[in-house]
Amino acid sequence: MGVPFSQQARVGAYVVKQHLKGVKRYPLVLMLEPLFRCNLACAGCGKIDYPSAILNKRISVEDAIGAAEECGAPVVSIAGGEPLIHKEINQIVVELIKRKKYVYLCTNALLLEKHLDRFTPSKFLTFSIHLDGEKAEHDAAVCQDGVYEKAVAAIAAAKAKGFRVNVNSTLFDNATSEGAARFFDTATGLGVDGITVSPAFHTNVRQTRNISSTANAPRSSSAASLSAARARTGRCHIRRCISISSPGTRITAARPGATRRGRFSAGRSPATCLAKAM
């Protein structure tokens, strides 16, 4: 199953409403970061390099909901850090669902099996689990052995309890089209509802690590890998990332060049709204 029809209909109605109101730029997705602290030190992320004073901060439930209401977007992507470290993350999700927001909770899945009972399966909730390739590639990317197996086990546990599950993958400059195709076959074989793929771009953070991206590499190797993704899973449109649904379904991302970022202050942690120019 790809994106639920109810989600497509709700987002479509929201877009039509903005058109009728004459609004040219409006948010489709709120990127909510309730904390920066994480239980991994992934090669492509610098969040844990923040000072302790920042890493120890947590957004409150009230501020998280306030950001969602201020933004108005129908979809909320909860990232981090690792959201499941937040002691009130289940309350944040519950309150967002009460407001009929479609929530994508991004997680490395190390804590997911332990905390599954804190959540209730819903068409409004999707666990977006981080996998950067098959076992060797993913464990290398997150700089810790055994993470891939825990993530795969968490996917199985979540699906068994009736949750929607997506895989969120980053393609680094060492990715190949053949390797990406194998990974997409493996991921779809896990029974996930979709795959989100993003190419890595150059950053000055963690330059000494083995897995880092260059400014130009994603245009070649990642582009080839994304082409393989399209061939494997059907039509999709590439922007900064592409969303690949299960075989037989289709997700259309925002058209190229149509996205801008707007900042929303949400207490002690940032929330970013992605706005689409129509």
List, for residues 102-120, the tens digit of each pLDDT value.
999 999 999 999 999 999 9
In degrees and rounded to multiples of 5, residue 140 shows phi and psi of -70, -40
Give, for 30, the enclosing helix (H) or strand (E).
strand 25-32
pTM here? 0.76
Residues 256 and 77: their CA atoms lie apart, in Å, by 20
Per DSSP bridges, beta strands 125-130 and 164-171 are parallel
The pLDDT tens digits of the residues spanning 31-63 come to 999 999 999 998 778 788 889 999 999 999 999
For residue 234, is pLDDT > 70?
A: no
Q: Burial, 213: exposed, middle or buried (Cβ in 10 Å; 0-12, 13-18, 19+)?
A: buried
pLDDT class for 210, splitting at 50, 70, 90?
A: very low
Comparing 222 with 162, which gets the higher pLDDT?
Answer: 162
